[in-house]
Amino acid sequence: MREDKEIKKHCPCVSEIVTRRLSLYLRCLLMVNREGDAYISSKELAERFHLNADQIRKDLSYFGTFGKRGVGYNIEATIVKLKEVLGLTQVYNVAIAGAGNLGTALADYPRINRDSFRIVALFDRDNRKVGTKTKTGIHIYHISELEEWVKKLNVRMGIIAVPADAAQAIADRFVESGVRGIMNFAPMRIQLPSYIKTISADFKSQLEVLAYYVSKIKIGE
């Protein structure tokens, strides 16, 4: 038990479910920070954003103790800490494979190219697109040059926005070129080495999950 505790203190790994909440807390704190207060309690934060106060405290406690008893959490300091924990003090170069509607929409997504993320390249096999830029000025390269540009531009995250049948091959090429995190929008399960983090963001699959719940709601409530 004591040993477990020590291990936990030194192991930088927390589950994905906690990570998702940390990102959410950060978003909420950035919002309340514009209002000028210096402190907020877990209870107030929970009430304002439909969160769970116990869970906020436990999640934050994994990374040290930085709340003031009787007062709450210093908003600025907690924002800094959360950014640090999530690794957002670094800058990540991101490339997108597939310059279709979705790929270009993601490339031009508002306010992504600030702070921690830089979308540095799009790749496509359509020669008519190659050599052009998106509205916000991101270059489209030919997919055959993926390895070359991923290395040259020091890309650490790859986004897959190509059709399902091409997804696995593109993922392999990203990883081979040094990418360490993949976000997969293709409706297709991809298999990668365990040291690569993969997040599935498949639109159709999410609609199906929604369908399950919507179909259970009786008509007329």
Partner DNA sequence: ATGTGTGAATGGATTCACAGCG
Partner DNA sequence: CGCTGTGAATCCATTCACACAT
The binding site for its own copies (CB under 8 A) comprises: 12-13, 16, 19-20, 22-24, 26-28, 49-50, 85-88, 90, 92, 94, 100-102, 104-106, 108-112, 116-117, 156-157, 163, 180-181, 183, 187-189, 191, 195, 197, 199, 201, 203-217, 221
Q: Which does 183 bind (CB under 5 to 8 A by kind): DNA, its own copies, none?
A: its own copies
As measured in angstroms, the least distance from the Cβ of 52 to DNA is 4
Q: Which helix (H) or strand (E) holds 55?
A: helix 53-61
Q: Which does 70 bind (CB under 5 to 8 A by kind): its own copies, DNA, none?
A: DNA
d(CA 10, CA 101): 43
d(CA 136, CA 145): 21
Is residue 97 within 8 A of residue 162, CB to CB? The reply is yes
Give the residue, chosen from 61, 89, 132, 154, that forms a contact with DNA under the rule CB under 7 A: 61
Q: CA of 211: how far to CAs of 187, 189, 219, in Å? A: 16, 20, 14
Q: Maximum Cα–Cα distance for the chain, whole Å? A: 63
Binding site residues, DNA, CB under 7 A:
1, 5, 15, 17-18, 41-43, 52-55, 57-58, 60-61, 65-73
